[in-house]
């Protein structure tokens, strides 16, 4: 065998001798036909329970729900407003449950900062366990305004951290200034990682100094028009330590976008439009304990029904789609930016052999559905 032949084989084969496959980041869905008719997807078996039910004349807008498990209980938190989305009276609620189905009466986690006539309000940004402490992130913002630069969606934006001290939520101060994160930070190759949008909704990535957090380095996400307005991403890491960001497209292409990092989140590729349909809503991706990756979104490009899940062996291409919730009820209380007949903004965690999905129905009720992972029919991966 010549040196040239050996070199060619080295380029074609991986270190273990298996063929090296060049994956296409635009191919997020294994076959577009799988979601050509999302309204006809089979419905997964589930147990669904209410967490918070909107009532006439009370708190009728409820969205941005997040879920955690701590100290033997489920904890849910979400944004809550009187009528409209992101109104000046918006505050943060939370509730707890010993089993995920019987929920306590909700309580106010963080109150309206300046009363219903003031410009400030809160948006829920996540609940999680960090170094043994139950932690919540909430974004403070003020009423949208027009500036010389353009529309500023969240003036005076700051991300504030709160910790549960056993009896109340203690304000620990600003975590990151000018940051609207999407999901709580998680460890990525030894450092906490999350995404941020600034007050003008431009997308950034954020890496802390270590697993402990703090000293955040915030970096603008690359991308040229029309692939530059990314929104509300989730992320996961594949078996080769490549991190995948899955975006909602704020330019409303009605498809998900993907960006990749091969250096622990320090740099990211420009987002690429994938073949995975999306209603332009929030998604959540992750990995189950059996080795499979999952991706939850609203794949009906006409609206946020159904809420569906699909699965992947390697985090690159997804298949086996199934509806988690479908045929949403009629909306009871109209309001600004409230979607009718919709299931949206899911957050999911695995606990006790089940995937628990928390979401908003019609942007008025917060519900939770339990899906036994064994019922998905996924063999355990190595």
Token pair recorded at residue 369: 């559905």
Q: What CA–CA distance (Å, rounded) separates 64 from 71?
A: 23
The model's pLDDT over 191-248, given as tens digits with 9 standing for 90+, comes to 999 999 999 999 999 999 999 999 999 999 999 999 999 999 999 999 999 999 999 9
Is residue 308 within 8 Å of residue 41, measured between CB atoms?
yes
Distance CA 107, CA 164 (A): 13
DSSP-assigned states of every residue in 74-123: EEEEEEEESSSTT-TT-EEEEEEESSSSS-PPPEEEE--SS-TTSS-EEE
Residue 343's CB is within 10 A of a number of other CB atoms, namely 27
Confidence of residue 4 (pLDDT cuts 50, 70, 90): very low
Which positions ≥6 away from 240 have C-beta within 8 Å?
none
Q: What is the mean pLDDT of the chain?
A: 94
What pLDDT, in 10s, does the model give residues 92-151?
999 999 999 999 999 999 999 999 899 999 999 999 999 999 999 999 999 999 999 999
Of 286, 318, 314, residue with least CA distance to 35: 318
Give this prediction's pTM: 0.94
Tell me which H or E stretch contains 10. helix 3-12
Q: Is residue 266 left, alpha or beta, with left meaning phi > 0 and alpha meaning psi from -120 to 50?
A: alpha
pLDDT at 11: 37
Kind of pairing between the strands at 319-325 and 343-351? unpaired
pLDDT band of residue 6 (cuts 50, 70, 90) is very low
**How many CB atoms sit inside 10 A of residue 57's CB?**
8
The pLDDT, as a whole number, for residue 9 is: 39
Listing from the earlier edge strand, what are the strands of the sheet with 243-249? 230-237, 243-249, 255-261, 272-277
Distance CA 115, CA 90 (A): 9
Gap between the Cα atoms of 137 and 143, Å rounded: 20
User: What sign does the CA torsion over 261, 266, 270, 273 have?
Assistant: positive
Domain extents for the chain?
A: 22-376
Helix (H, G, I), strand (E, B) or coil at 376: helix
Dist CA 201 CA 10 (whole Å): 45
Q: Which residue has the tokens 């942007």?
A: 363
Q: Examine the pLDDT at 372 and tell me if it is beyond 70.
A: yes
CA 128 to chain centre: 13
Structure tokens given for 16:
């273990």
Residue 300 near residue 316 (C-beta atoms within 8 A): no
The count of other CB atoms within 10 Å of the CB of residue 139 is: 25
Distances 315 to 4, 276, 285 between C-alpha atoms, Å: 35, 13, 9
- Is the pLDDT at 162 greater than 90? The verdict is yes
Domain 22-376 has CATH 3.30.830.10: no
The Cα 127–Cα 111 span in angstroms is: 16
The angle formed by the CA atoms of residues 279, 281 and 282, to the nearest 5 degrees, is: 140
Residues 26-33, mean pLDDT to the nearest whole number: 98
Beta strands in 215-300 (DSSP E): 217-220, 230-237, 243-249, 255-261, 272-277, 284-287, 293-297
Q: Which residue has the tokens 């577009």?
A: 32
What is the pLDDT, as a whole number, of residue 22? Answer: 78
- SS3 (DSSP) at 181: strand
Closest CA to 168 of 97, 110, 102, 89: 110
Say how many Å lie between the first and final Cα of the chain, rounded.
35
Tokens representing 156 are 């005076």
């Amino acid at each position: 065998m010549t040196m040239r032949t050996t070199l060619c084989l080295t380029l074609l084969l991986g270190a273990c001798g298996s063929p090296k496959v060049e994956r296409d980041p635009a191919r997020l869905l294994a076959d577009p036909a799988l979601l050509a008719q999302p309204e006809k997807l089979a419905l997964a078996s589930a147990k669904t329970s209410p967490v918070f039910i909107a009532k006439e004349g009370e708190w009728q807008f409820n969205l941005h729900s997040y879920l955690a498990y701590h100290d033997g209980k489920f904890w849910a938190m979400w944004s809550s407003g009187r009528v409209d989305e992101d109104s000046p009276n918006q505050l943060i609620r939370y509730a707890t449950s010993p089993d995920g189905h019987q929920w306590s009466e909700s309580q106010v986690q963080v109150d309206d900062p300046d009363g219903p006539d003031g410009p400030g309000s809160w948006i829920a940004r996540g609940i999680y366990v960090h170094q043994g402490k139950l932690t919540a992130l909430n974004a403070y913002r003020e009423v949208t305004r027009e500036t010389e630069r353009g529309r500023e969606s969240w003036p005076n934006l700051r991300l504030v951290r709160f910790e549960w001290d056993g009896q109340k939520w203690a304000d620990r101060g600003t975590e990151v200034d000018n940051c609207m994160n999407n999901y709580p930070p998680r460890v990525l190759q030894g450092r906490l990682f999350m995404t941020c949008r600034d007050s003008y909704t431009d997308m950034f990535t954020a890496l802390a100094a270590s697993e402990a957090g703090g000293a955040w380095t915030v970096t603008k996400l690359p991308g040229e028009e029309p692939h530059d307005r990314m929104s509300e991403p989730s992320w996961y890491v594949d078996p080769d330590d490549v991190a995948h960001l899955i975006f909602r497209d704020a330019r409303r292409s009605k498809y998900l976008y993907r960006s990749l990092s091969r250096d622990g989140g320090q740099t990211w590729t420009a987002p690429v439009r994938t073949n995975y349909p999306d209603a332009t809503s929030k998604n959540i991706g992750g990995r189950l304990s059996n080795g499979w990756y999952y991706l939850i979104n609203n794949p009906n490009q006409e609206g946020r029904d159904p809420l569906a899940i699909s699965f992947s062996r390697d985090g690159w291409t997804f298949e086996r789609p199934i509806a988690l919730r479908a045929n949403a009820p009629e909306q009871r209380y109209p309001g600004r930016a409230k979607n009718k007949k919709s299931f949206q903004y899911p957050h999911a965690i695995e606990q006790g052999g089940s995937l628990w999905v928390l979401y908003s129905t019609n942007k008025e009720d917060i519900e939770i559905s339990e899906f036994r992972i064994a019922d998905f029919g996924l063999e355990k991966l190595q």
